């Protein structure tokens, strides 16, 4: 698999009917990358795929149940709610064997004081994925993307860096290329998977920033 060949990959999106998964699927499809949405129910995935085909004006978006999506795709984004993350990945271990998996899940809680990071026994959602999927190539990325901005194709420059974490250089390079494929995004290597917790948890700070400044805040890394 060549890093420069991202347009020939099929990207699967588990949780592809949720706002973040759907938004990234739309952007990848609009950039010419074939996408397969996964959901618990195949008909809901196909309905979302039909909606995105209309929005992007392309045909290369399909919908399947999560297992079908994982089996059909070359690279798989995990965009499911944190509650259920482990169970879903355990159920898809066979379909995900040997594949690059991108975890973008943010384990967050909310109370009267706003958002906060939930403790995760394995350290982070990405490290949980790594433990559950020992035969996959697990990376972490796309934690901070705004679903609202992704869904609005009138925003043609999303203006943020995507931190890509992982211990497998070829895998993080490919995921960086998948970020670069979306106009305005830049994929930036962000460290080893053991440093994923703080990137996931930083989403709580970005939500606090959004509330204070009425914004859809993203990150840029300076001096690189």
Q: What residues line the site for its own copies (CB under 8 A)? A: 113-117, 159-160, 163, 165, 188-192, 194-195, 197-199, 201-202, 204-206, 208-209, 212-213, 215-224
* CA neighbor of 78 nearest in space, from 27, 135, 129, 153: 129
Is the distance from CB of 22 to CB of 14 less than 8 angstroms? no
59 vs 224, beta carbon nearer its own copies: 224
What's the min distance (Å) between Cβ of 21 and its own copies? 22
The three-class DSSP label of residue 101 is strand
Is the distance from CB of 33 to CB of 154 less than 8 angstroms? no
What's the min distance (Å) between Cβ of 189 and its own copies? 5
- Sole residue written with tokens 């008909």: 43
Q: Give the span between the Cα atoms of 174 and 125, in whole angstroms.
A: 20
What's the min distance (Å) between Cβ of 168 and its own copies? 13
Burial of 69 (C-beta count, 10 Å sphere; 0-12/13-18/19+): buried
Q: Which residues contact 10 (CB under 8 A, 6 or more apart)?
A: 33, 34, 35, 36, 72, 73, 74, 75
What's the min distance (Å) between Cβ of 157 and its own copies? 10
153 vs 215, beta carbon nearer its own copies: 215
Q: Give the span between the Cα atoms of 170 and 138, in whole angstroms.
A: 11
129 vs 160, beta carbon nearer its own copies: 160
85 vs 216, beta carbon nearer its own copies: 216
Q: Give the span between the Cα atoms of 144 and 15, in whole angstroms.
A: 17
Residue 190: its H or E element: strand 185-191
18 vs 191, beta carbon nearer its own copies: 191
Q: Give the span between the Cα atoms of 120 and 138, in whole angstroms.
A: 17
What's the min distance (Å) between Cβ of 58 and its own copies? 27
What's the min distance (Å) between Cβ of 177 and its own copies? 16
27 vs 53, beta carbon nearer its own copies: 27
């Amino acid at each position: 698999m060549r890093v420069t060949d991202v347009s020939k990959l099929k990207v699967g999106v588990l949780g592809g009917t949720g706002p973040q998964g759907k938004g990234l699927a739309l952007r990848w499809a609009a950039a010419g990358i074939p996408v397969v949405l996964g959901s618990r129910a195949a008909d809901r995935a196909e309905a979302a795929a039909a909606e995105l085909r209309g929005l992007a004006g392309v045909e290369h978006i399909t919908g399947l149940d999560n297992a079908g999506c994982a089996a059909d795709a070359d690279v798989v984004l995990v965009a499911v709610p944190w509650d259920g993350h482990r169970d879903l990945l355990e159920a898809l271990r066979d379909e995900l064997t040997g594949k690059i998996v991108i975890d973008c899940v943010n384990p967050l809680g909310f109370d009267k004081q706003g958002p906060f990071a939930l403790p995760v026994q394995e350290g982070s959602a990405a490290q949980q994925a790594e433990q559950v999927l020992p035969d996959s190539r697990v990376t972490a990325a796309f934690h901070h993307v705004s679903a609202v901005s992704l869904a609005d194709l009138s925003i043609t420059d999303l203006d943020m860096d995507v931190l890509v974490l992982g211990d497998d250089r070829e895998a993080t390079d490919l995921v960086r290329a998948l970020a670069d494929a979306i106009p305005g995004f830049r994929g930036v290597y962000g460290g080893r998977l053991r440093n994923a917790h703080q990137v996931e948890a930083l989403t709580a700070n970005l939500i606090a920033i959004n509330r204070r400044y009425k914004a859809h805040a993203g990150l840029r890394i300076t001096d690189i």
